[in-house]
Amino acid sequence: DWQTTNDVFGTTNNPWDVDRTPGGSSGGGAAAVACGMTPLEFGSDLAGSLRIPAAFCGVYAHRPSYGIVPMRGFAPPMAPRTSIAQPIDQSTVGPMARTAVDLTLALNVIAGADTADGAAWRLSLPPPRHSQLKDFRILVLDEHPLVATSQDTVRALNDLTERLRSEGCEIGQSVNDAPDLKDLTRTFSAFLMALMGVDMPEDEYDAAATHAKGKAGTSRGQSMTMSHRDWMLLDRHRLGLAAQWAETFKRWDVVLCPVTPRTAFEHDSRPLEKRKLDVDGSQISYEKTPFWTAVATPCGLPVTTAPIGLDAAGLPIGMQIVGPRLEDYTPLAFADLLESRLGAGFVGPTR
């Protein structure tokens, strides 16, 4: 879910407006960082669980390149319990903080080989591509073909774009310079559903598989019960998308885009299928909440989320800074330069 509530601890509120969610699933960590309760938090990110709370609470987060931060110790091991940490497809563990500098310090500590792999390899990430803001080549994406984005969010991103242009940055705004966002989102969703099917009770899985093969079968059910052959074909397609991203990053250093369709929304405890997102008066499916985060997820790209302003209601607006795979220091350095050069950074809750 993209909210934070459970039967043990109850509902976590957004420090900017307690009637709204801090996002999820790491909403508690984001709220604590925003309130000043802690300078640093950690969480995992599969469907935006770091990036969305950071955006909703006005703090920074970094989703590392897939595979560079061990999953060991983050959560209880899956059955059967083994001494080997089990990676989760598309999921990473990363930090949240009030500055990009703190994100970098945290990444330096947590990134590297897992204990079981440490005898064979060491991580050595390349330095950021540039040390001055004006040298960055920036691709800006502000429209998603599968989900509407609020005018306040687009306006904040466009305002920042113009400030970057005035700093001397080279700016591109053609969607043709990036892989197809529709394809990326659908690929992400298919892998996500396949992962969700793994831990289904056997009888439920069999029923879902039977239904998926029928005339009323949905792409969601088909992905949840796909064969290993189909998964491998999808993975081959993902490699093609990764190759397209590699071409994108030959031309551009970072890609800027929204985190979510809108800013933090009011708490909603209704069943998932009954929830809607209000985007400038239009009702869209709640399940489209992570569609912008799907831009980077399936190909394991590093993403730094940074606050870039407030909407008309005084709620934080976040932005994704997507970098080339295994070049985590590039989006982190860019986020830090935004703060030091343009003053775009963390501002504590004002209510």
pLDDT in tens, 62-121: 999 999 999 887 777 666 666 666 678 899 999 999 999 999 999 999 999 888 777 788
Query: Residue 80 has what pLDDT?
Result: 64
The percent of residues above 70 in pLDDT, for the chain, comes to 96
Query: Residue 78 has what pLDDT?
Result: 66
Asked whether the bond before 80 is cis by omega within 30 degrees of 0, the reply is yes
Distance CA 177, CA 180 (A): 9
Query: Residue 319 has what pLDDT?
Result: 98
Query: Residue 221 has what pLDDT?
Result: 82
pLDDT digits (tens, 9 = 90+) for 21-47: 999 999 999 999 999 999 999 999 999
| Residues 14 and 21 sit within 8 Å (Cβ to Cβ) | yes
Mean pLDDT of 149-155: 98
For 5-75+85-176+251-342, which CATH superfamily applies? Amidase signature (AS) domain (3.90.1300.10)
| Domain residue spans of the chain | 5-75+85-176+251-342
Helix 151-166, helix 329-342: angle, nearest 10: 80
Is the alpha carbon torsion for 29, 74, 260, 284 positive or negative?
negative
Query: Residue 19 has what pLDDT?
Result: 96
Name the residue with higher pLDDT: 194 or 351.
194
pLDDT digits (tens, 9 = 90+) for 205-219: 888 888 888 766 677
Mean pLDDT of 165-177: 98
